[in-house]
Amino acid sequence: MRTDLAASYGEERLPRYTSYPTAPHFSPEIGADTYSRWLSELPSGASASLYLHVPFCREMCWYCGCHTQIVRRDELVAAYQRTLLSEVTLVADTIGRRIKVEHIHFGGGTPTIMAPEAFAEVMAAMRQAFFVLPSAEIAVEIDPRTLTAEMVEAMRLSGVNRASLGVQSFDPLVQRAINRVQSYEQTASVVDMLRQAGIGGINFDLIYGLPHQTIASCLDTVRRSLELAPDRFSVFGYAHVPSFKRHQRMINEAHLPDGLARHDQACAIANALKEAGYVQIGLDHFARPDDAMAVAYEQGTLRRNFQGYTTDKGEVLLGFGASAIGHLPQGYVQNEVQIGAYQQSIAAGRLATAKGYGLTDDDRLRADIIERIMCEFGVDLGDICARHGAEPKEMLQSASRLKSLISDGVVRLDGDRLAVANDSRFLVRSVAAAFDAHLDPGKQLHSRAV
């Protein structure tokens, strides 16, 4: 990887392109009535994925970029869980039939903050409201510091088959600086519990660019993580946006690595994981060669959605909970972010949609181009444009940012086929951004490109 390019492009603030257009472009003009109509218009053969957002944690991790709040009283979580149950019923009734479900993902916050019996009740409600296929992937994000044996048993009985564990870093200095002290022993114990319960799909989340992090501490975290042999790794760069996430002000910016140091940390982690036999997938994922995600990457069927890279091929994502985002063929919808407003809407018997975005034909074309770039480090513009009734030449002419990327050797253009150079793949977001017709470089809405 070239450090000169990291210096040139690394400070740009760019989306991670888990959607296109991205969430800052959502508008309150798309509300509950629109979402209701979109749900009723879903084709009879459609299948869906479900995302359930649980916005509570026991304590705040200062690096966190999620919509979450600290809660000590379990009755607040119980009340929220009851609202989730009502929303599941409301959405299913609006669709009007039991739609097939291939993927379920519990995110947060800390989804396992729910009582075990409450979690089981939510899963049972989803199976009643939707036709959850026997082969469905059911994944839960986990904070290893708070997971109990009772919750693991509830997950097992509910059919959970994948767990994503937040690790971030095993360096005690880094952990104290981000207010997340989590021992290796805690993490290892949770991995053992999950595997004994038959929950075999294990993901680890790591972060680089944190305060006090060094290449040495990153590699030590990788080494210790490899001892626990997860199936997948997600490796994210810390996004420091204290103007949007006030708790990040607790992090001393003087202790954050600069762009070049972040670049070196990312390279070191990627190289260590590849040397250990993991396949690098897209921008920030790694998987064992026989893992379904690695197979999808090799076959060109990898997708990207709000959970990052995925094997999910569905065109419908139904979001439940405060701030949850859904994706339908017609566009995007997002629930009320504030928990109180979300609960009031559902209690009144109406969908909690606060904003969204109706897709145009041009959006769909650009979304397909950006997704292939993010998933495959390249795109056949001729093929995609032909499917959308567009001209590759016009699309290239509209991508003015491509000129400098081509001249700097980041991108190769062979006819209508665009490819990101192997030593420049860490800049894939910069290449995708060349096709983003909505991007405003002057607004600091996103994380750094490196």
**Binding positions for S-adenosyl-L-methionine:** 51, 63-65, 108-110, 141, 168, 180, 205, 239, 325
Burial of 239 (0-12, 13-18, 19+ CB in 10 A): middle
Pick out the residues of the known binding site.
Answer: 51, 57, 61, 63-65, 108-110, 141, 168, 180, 205, 239, 325
Q: Which two tokens stand for residue 212?
A: 């006090």
Cite the DSSP H helix spans in 96-160: 116-129, 149-157
Say if CB 424 and CB 432 are below 8 A apart: no
Please give the full DSSP string across 63-103, using - where no structure is assigned.
T--SS-EE---HHHHHHHHHHHHHHHHHHHHHHTS--EEEE
Phi-psi region at 45: left, alpha or beta (left = phi > 0; alpha = psi -120 to 50): alpha
Q: Which two tokens stand for residue 347?
A: 């209690």
- Of 348, 374, 347, nearest to 79 by C-alpha is 347
C-alpha torsion 399→401→406→410, nearest 10? -120
* 369 HSE (CA, 13 A, CB side): 33
Instruction: Name the phi and psi angles at 13, rounded to 5.
Output: -100, 110
- What angle (nearest 5°) sits at the alpha carbon of residue 282, between those of residues 103 and 207? 85
Pick out the residues of the known binding site for [4Fe-4S] cluster.
Answer: 57, 61, 64
The strand order across the sheet containing 353-358 reads 279-281, 285-287, 232-237, 201-208, 162-168, 131-142, 100-108, 47-54, 316-320, 325-328, 331-335, 353-358
Say if CB 316 and CB 42 are below 8 A apart: yes
CB atoms within 10 A of CB 41: 12
Say if CB 436 and CB 400 are below 8 A apart: no
Burial code (b: 16+ CB inside 10 Å, e: under 16) for 159-184 equals ebbbbbbbbbbbbeebbebbebebee
| Distance (Å, whole) CA 218 – CA 211 | 12
- For residue 128, the Cα-to-chain-centroid distance in whole angstroms is 27
C-alpha gyration radius of the chain: 21
